Structure 1
Amino acid sequence: CVTYYRPLTNSRELKSYLHSLYVTAAQYNDPVRNPVSVICGGIDGGAYGSDVLSKIYSGLVALRGDGICFVNPPSTTVSETSEGWGWQTCSEIVFPIGIGSNTMFPAQPYNFNSFATSCEKRYAVSPRPHWVTTYYGGHSIKLILNKFGSNIIFYNGLRDPYSSGGVLEDLSDSLVAIQAAQGSHCLDLVPQNLTSDPKWLVDLRNKEVSIIKGWIAQYYVDLQTLGSTKLSINNENKLFSMK
């Protein structure tokens, strides 16, 4: 561990690691692994002591397993997903999310200038905070999408804190919202596990597949109708030209 992990140089590194750990646990708090309950159970159990740092370590070990090194792992290649998401948040979707003074985390108000500086340093691009409303035409997703959107499923796992900003009700017949009270972030897209997936998750995925199959079937019906209409028009034109 000492050979491969960089030693902590300041408390900010530890705070940043724990912040990422807790946020990820809340976002991906699926009903099988239950990372939030695992962490909280470890903290409450206090297997490594009753002081604050010992309880934090107990929660960490409960989730990640017993070990002596967790923070500052060896540098590895950044995944395409992480790099792509970083690029998107800098070039398209600005998330003005800060931390207030009434949470479990140290207060950290959102600072756009600081965010812009980091984007310019990392990608040589300046963020566009109004890109979304400019591109889509306004703040009301219901009004805008009803004008040109169709065939979208908005899944929201209500365990995911981001669901509070999600689309939680149908916007039209083909702009469909599906809620999962025990679901987490993107759980419907996670590969199935035949041994551990709860029945409600299996049913939810089947519902989504059924909806998508319906869209595809309707597309071919419309395509066939369009072809018949064109054939009829062509025949009428031929008759007109013969006269």
Structure 2
Amino acid sequence: MYASAAQYNEPPTYPVNKVCAGIDGGGFGDDILSRIFGGLVAYNGNLPCYVNAHTDESETTVGWRWQECSELAMPIGIGNNSMFPPDPFDLEDYIESCKSFYGVPTRPHWVTTYYGGHSIKLILQRFGSNIIFSNGLRDPYSSGGVLENISDTIVAVSTVNGSHCLDLLFAKETDPEWLVAQRKIEIKIMKEWIDKYYVDLSMF
């Protein structure tokens, strides 16, 4: 629940704020479990049951899990400095889990071998162009994102209040000004690339 709320902490509801308000409100008691339940109710609504809720599978969720196993092994674990019980990443368990689910071998070094991710700045300076690295800094994954321009055509656009892929979603009337501005910046950059392409093309 929290991972989803944090990753997609988008306006106008801001799910993390809802969860935290439910926890801080103490409407179900002051002990830890009651406060956590308060956050759960705030996030999901007042339901008769919260255990084993139905999950709608989609090509996105299934495809993403497949990709995590076959191409994008991500060593994510929980350390000792968290409110959650420690659960360190274990590569052997990860490999066995992928074999069990999909019958495929995990390739933990494929991304860095194929894309040269050991030094993404060096690789992209030599081989990349026309890339926007867009990050909403409320997205926990932004800590591993590209947050500074690498070159004139490999640029970072970030927003303090943004969340995961928020700028890629359909525009809504409730979108805050900073989100509208972020999209305008990205469109302006892409338009400049396209204009330059046609100028270059006309010279041949």
TM-score of Structure 1 vs Structure 2, range by shorter chain: over 0.9
> Bigger CA drift: 38-47 or 133-142?
133-142
Partner of 1:235: none
Partner of 2:159: 180
Deviation at 1:138, TM superposition (A): 4.9
Aligned-residue sequence identity (percent) comes to 58
Q: State the AA in 2 paired with 1:29.
A: N
Q: In the alignment, does 2:102 pair up with 1:162? A: no
Q: Which of the numbers 21, 25, 29 marks the counterpart of 1:41? A: 21
What is the alpha-carbon distance in structure 2 between the residues aligned to residue 135 and residue 186 of structure 1? Answer: 24
Q: Which of the numbers 120, 130, 134 marks the counterpart of 2:99? A: 120
Q: State the AA in 1 paired with 2:158.
A: Q
What SS is found at the alignment partner of 2:156? strand
Deviation at 1:166, TM superposition (A): 0.4
Q: In the alignment, does 2:117 pair up with 1:144? A: no
Q: Which of the numbers 37, 42, 47 marks the counterpart of 1:62? A: 42
What is the alpha-carbon distance in structure 2 between the residues aligned to residue 86 and residue 33 of structure 1? Answer: 27
> Which consecutive residues of structure 1, in runs of 5 or more, have no partner in the other structure?
1-20, 227-243
What is the alpha-carbon distance in structure 2 between the residues aligned to residue 218 and residue 109 of structure 1? Answer: 48
Compute the TM-score of the two structures, normalised by the length of structure 1.
0.80
Q: CA RMSD in A?
A: 1.3
Which residues of 2 match residues 79-228 of structure 1 at below 5 A?
A: 79-194=58-173, 196-226=174-204
> Which consecutive residues of structure 2, in runs of 5 or more, have no partner in the other structure?
none
Q: State the AA in 1 paired with 2:101.
A: R
**CA contact 1:31–1:182 (8 Å) conserved in 2:** no
1:181-226 CA distances to partner (integer Å, 9 max, x unpaired)?
Answer: 11111111111111x1111110110111111111111111122212
How many residue pairs end up in the alignment?
A: 204
1:84-103 CA distances to partner (integer Å, 9 max, x unpaired)?
Answer: 11111111111111100110
What is the alpha-carbon distance in structure 2 between the residues aligned to residue 138 and residue 105 of structure 1? Answer: 30
What SS is found at the alignment partner of 1:177? strand
Runs of at least 4 residues of structure 1 off by over 4 A?
none
> Bigger CA drift: 63-72 or 167-176?
63-72
Larger Rg: 1
What is the alpha-carbon distance in structure 1 between the residues aligned to residue 66 and residue 11 of structure 2? Answer: 31
